[in-house]
Amino acid sequence: MAEIGKDINKAKQLLASGELVAIPTETVYGLAANALNTDAVTRIFEAKNRPVFDPLIVHVSSLKGAGLFVRNVPDIAHELADTFWPGPLTLLLEKTSLIPDLVTSGLSHVGIRSPRHPLTRALLKELDFPLAAPSANPFGYISPTTAGHVQDQLGGKLAYILDGGACEIGIESTIVGFRNGKAVVYRRGGLQIEDIAEITGEVSLDINASSNPKAPGQLASHYAPRKKLVTGELDALLAAHLHQKVGVLSFQKKYDVPFQITLSPDGDLAEAARKFFSALRTLDHASVDIILAEYVPDVGLGRAINDRLRRASHQGA
Ligand code: TXA
Ligand code: MG
């Protein structure tokens, strides 16, 4: 099992020698390695069992810190970074040759993000290389929002888990690229599109669900529990599964079944986002045969939660 602690120096030394370290961010925990070391990056793909066509996000302490790794940064990317970094926003920027092709799966652009968790910020400031880090879960499974989640899933495959407590936002960063000088959102996440649009004006969306590897980050099935997950209207779902041991994931209402989690009795979407992956994981580990879940209101952060619910419940390829 991996050691868990708050020792930034230890994390630094391990990363500098090419080892994997889990890092806390405000979104989810990341499985980090030196982004400039292809052997270390290869270990990330191996530990997660992640296909190499799925590129990694590179974490830096600031856009300035990304200076050598990206070029032709559009003005609106600068404005977005100035406004929302550190924070739950990943920018797709043209990469220089310093970023190994393995990191971007051969794509010309690299995902760059400046996370705002204080421990990870302190670590990044100590390092003289950026950190490639996908979410610290086995490929396709529920994302981790505590150090314990990382330990449960990947504990045997990494050296150290930097423990920063439970993640403040709980769902991944919003991914934004640029086409003809305009912002394009590729993944909904912790930063809302309305907030981005205030800076950039018109924002287009390119969020399809696909099993086609050419559409990285948009796999139809993702974030999934091991148990079957069915989404819909909960009363109807409960009636249809009367003879099964069900786990219920609801937004506001309580249900009278042994295994149920309410995301936010007050209807607070930020609270729901914070609890979402953890709740799904708890139900996945409970003694139930099937998980029934309802969508949350499809506004603001709710859209990012619903995107994950949709992919987590996707059946088949
Ligand atoms: O909040 C987050 O973004 C977390 C924390 C750890 O920073 N990271 C994260 O990484 O969610 P990951 O690997 O689980 O998801 C990143 C997604 C992937 O689906 C990947 O396909 C997409 O971002 N992505 C990364 N680089 C890309 C690129 N150059 N072009 C298009 N999509 C990219
Ligand atoms: Mg992930």
- Does ligand 1 lie within 6 Å of residue 170's CB atom? no
Q: Which residue's C-alpha comes closest to atom 13 of ligand 1?
A: 134
Q: What pLDDT is stored for residue 248 in this prediction?
A: 98
pLDDT tens digits, one per residue of 72-93: 999 999 999 999 999 999 999 9
Q: Which residue's C-alpha comes closest to atom 15 of ligand 1?
A: 134
Q: What pLDDT is stored for residue 221 in this prediction?
A: 79
Q: What pLDDT is stored for residue 167 in this prediction?
A: 98
Tell me, in angstroms, the distance from the centre of ligand 2 to residue 271's CA. Answer: 20
Q: What pLDDT is stored for residue 220 in this prediction?
A: 76
Q: What pLDDT is stored for residue 199 in this prediction?
A: 97
- Does ligand 1 lie within 6 Å of residue 133's CB atom? yes
How many other CB atoms sit within 10 Å of the CB of residue 247? Answer: 26
Q: Which residues of 248-268 are buried (b: 16+ CB within 10 A; e: fewer)?
A: bbbbeeebeeebbbbbbeeee
- Does ligand 1 lie within 6 Å of residue 92's CB atom? yes
Ligand nearest to the CA of 138: 2
- Does ligand 1 lie within 6 Å of residue 135's CB atom? yes
Output the pTM of the full model. Answer: 0.96
Is 73:80 a contact under the CB 8 Å cutoff? no
Tell me, in angstroms, the distance from the centre of ligand 1 to residue 56's CA. Answer: 5
Q: Which residue's C-alpha comes closest to atom 3 of ligand 1?
A: 173
Q: What pLDDT is stored for residue 317 in this prediction?
A: 43
Q: In what order do the strands lie in the sheet with 21-23?
A: 3-5, 160-162, 21-23, 30-34, 131-132, 57-59, 109-113, 89-94, 174-179, 182-187, 203-205
Ligand nearest to the CA of 219: 1
Q: Are strands 160-162 and 3-5 parallel, antiparallel or unpaired?
A: parallel
**Would you give per-residue pLDDT tens digits along the chain (317 residues)?**
999 999 999 999 999 999 999 999 999 999 999 999 999 999 999 999 999 999 999 999 999 889 999 999 999 999 999 999 999 999 999 999 999 999 999 999 999 999 999 999 999 999 999 999 999 999 999 999 999 999 999 999 999 999 999 999 999 999 999 999 899 999 999 999 999 999 999 999 998 766 654 455 567 778 889 999 999 999 999 999 999 999 999 999 999 999 999 999 999 999 999 999 999 999 999 999 999 999 999 999 999 999 999 999 987 54
- Does ligand 1 lie within 6 Å of residue 114's CB atom? no
Q: What pLDDT is stored for residue 208 in this prediction?
A: 72
Q: What pLDDT is stored for residue 218 in this prediction?
A: 65
> What does the block give as tokens for 240?
């249809």
